Chains A and B, each alone.
Chain A
Amino acid sequence: GAGVSQSPSNKVTEKGKDVELRCDPISGHTALYWYRQSLGQGLEFLIYFQGNSAPDKSGLPSDRFSAERTGGSVSTLTIQRTQQEDSAVYLCASSLNGVRETQYFGPGTRLLVL
């Protein structure tokens, strides 16, 4: 079916506000990843979900960042008290089972914190 979808495609917010970014993975994919792409930089791993296992949060840059995945499908990345340095493209990817499988990326959410 359809690929990975993300919403919103663009988000402008004021410093200090909270934002929620949504990811709909490919149907049937058990693994879901969030990455951050800053201007002119590579992709930085944030968090990984695999089935019902505890998420790997080792890439989250601060406690202002959190993510959840409901029902093993849709995921939401939440950034609290946004800062200007949070401005970036947030990319979601999914793979069939997370072990040596191709990661399929969504188009990303472009976040601008003023």
Chain B
Amino acid sequence: QQQVKQSPQSLIVQKGGIPIINCAYENTAFDYFPWYQQFPGKGPALLIAIRPDVSEKKEGRFTISFNKSAKQFSLHIMDSQPGDSATYFCAASRAGTASKLTFGTGTRLQVTL
């Protein structure tokens, strides 16, 4: 059972564009939603995270939008750069599970010149 569904699988945008990656979850007990960025040959690194008591969080060029009623959240990358080319994973965890993360299947982003 896939508890976090992520789309699209891959995405190509031009430099300066705004890629949007979407995730949907099923378990209403989830209360922590991080996004991880992974470069080839490296482990994932935390990019930004949100809790369901807010609808939006910005950190630099990265924004998470959260819709609790729809059980959806998304990552927006403003003014994307070739250095943003990586695989992005959404994840979720719930209280009482020691932050055990359930991950989406990942989105491979390519930012072209």
Contacts and interface: CB of A to CB of B under 8 A. Distances in A.
B41 A45 contact: no
Interface in B31-54: 32, 34, 36, 41-46, 49
B42 A107 contact: yes
B99 A4 contact: no
Interface residues of A, number: 28
A40 B105 contact: yes
Given A33-B100, A48-B100, A107-B41, A42 B46 contact: no
B46 A102 contact: yes
Given A41-B105, A42-B89, A43-B89, A56 B100 contact: yes
B44 A91 contact: yes
Interface in B58-108: 89, 91, 98-106
B110 interface: no
Contacts, number: 61
A44 B89 CA distance: 12
Interface string A57-101: 001000000000000000000000000000000010101001111
Contact of A101 (B4, B36, B99): B99
A44 B100 CA distance: 10
B77 to A, nearest CB: 19
A107 B43 contact: yes
Interface of B: 4, 6, 32, 34, 36, 41-46, 49, 89, 91, 98-106
Given A43-B91, A105-B43, 15 more contacts: A4-B43, A31-B99, A33-B100, A35-B103, A44-B103, A45-B102, A95-B99, A98-B98, A99-B99, A100-B32, A101-B99, A102-B46, A103-B46, A106-B43, A107-B41
9 contacts: A41-B106, A42-B6, A43-B103, A50-B98, A56-B100, A91-B44, A105-B43, A105-B44, A105-B45
